[in-house]
Homo-oligomer: A and B are copies of this chain.
Amino acid sequence: MDTTIKKICAGDIRTASRLIRDIEDKLPDAKAKIKKLYAHTGKSFIIGITGAPGAGKSTLTDALISEFRKLNKTVGVLAVDPTSPFTGGAILGDRIRMQRHAEDAGVFVRSLATRGALGGLSQAAGNSIHVMEAMGKDIIIVETVGIGQQEIDIINHAHTVLVVLVPGMGDEIQTMKAGLMEIADVFVINKADRAGARQLQTELSSMLNLSPKTADGWKPPIVMVGNAFDPATFDENTAELAKKIEEHHLYLQQSGMLTERMHRKAMTEIKDALSACLMEPVMHSLVTDGDLEKIAEKIRNRKSDPYTAAEEITEKFFRKQAGK
């Protein structure tokens, strides 16, 4: 076995961290490593946590780590920040808050960020999760802010998805209808000691009763979590949350939904890899032939359009392949 793979499978933190960094930096070598690593993945239980900035996701993640550690489970945490520099700083905060687990060899925390205009963050997240799976982590928590397209792609790597809400965020329930209902397996109303918590719970509950998702046999529970500065209640609440997560895990296994979710994930991974695999040789031949510049020029001058050009390029490429 490849030394890197062997080390990662033995849980070596430095080797794993380096590979995650290489994935983030899109080094070509990272892909080759993931190929070899893949056979050692797929056994971890993956939990996704999402919610608005300031909803308290990191505090919850931290509390869940403690709960899972009590059960002797090893935990990997991936904090993904696809948001703008405007709302930045979250990742630094995460790391500081989870510091208390820093000395625990059973806990491995990493973060991924966009770093400007790179893209492909969801794929990088998926591959970083694979590294943690190969390390043998029992549970992997993926944390991300908000639910845009990119965040949905990221959170789709999870088996169980937690959506964290806090009272008093305005017309949250209304706007939520757009996309949250479809992805949440467990709802958390955090900072539930605040005014409006009960009302939020009631509204959410009646929405859930109307949701078609419950027809699958799983009705997303709503867990109320109190103020973290009231440790007795907070610990009780987060233990309850960990229990609900475990219940959903069991449900996924028994209903066959886990297999279905892993199948869907495999599909996404093939499509992503395929898209890159098809584009690479075509782009390469376009660049080396000098065609790309010529075509871009034609499009810029409106002598052609991108769709017609794409069809012509594809046809030419296939003909060239056929001639080989």
Contacts and interface: CB of A to CB of B under 8 A. Distances in A.
Interface of A: 31, 34-35, 38-42, 51-52, 82-89, 113-119, 121, 145-153, 169-172, 174-180, 182, 259, 262-263, 265-267, 269-279, 282-283, 292, 295-297, 299-300, 302, 304-311, 313-314, 318, 321-324
B175 A308 contact: no
A319 B82 CA distance: 39
Nearest to A268: B306
A92 to B, nearest CB: 10
Q: Main SS of chain A's interface residues?
A: helix
A311 B277 contact: yes
22 contacts: A34-B305, A35-B307, A38-B304, A38-B305, A85-B177, A86-B175, A114-B149, A117-B149, A118-B149, A148-B150, A263-B297, A266-B296, A266-B299, A270-B292, A270-B299, A273-B306, A274-B313, A274-B314, A277-B313, A278-B279, A278-B314, A322-B322
A265 to B, nearest CB: 8
A175 B85 CA distance: 5
Contact of A148 (B40, B82, B152, B171): B82
Contacts of A174: 88-89
Given A150-B150, A322-B321, A182 B34 contact: no
A146 B87 CA distance: 8
B259 A147 contact: no
A52 B296 contact: no
How many copies of this chain sit in the oligomeric assembly? Answer: 2
Contacts of A83: 146, 148
A313 B278 CA distance: 10
Given A52-B84, A178-B85, A270 B309 contact: yes
A39 to B, nearest CB: 5
A86 B314 contact: no
A272 B313 CA distance: 13
B272 A306 contact: yes
A283 B278 CA distance: 11
B146 A86 contact: yes
Contacts of A178: 85, 88, 113-116
A302 B85 contact: no
A277 B82 CA distance: 28
A318 to B, nearest CB: 5
B274 A52 contact: no
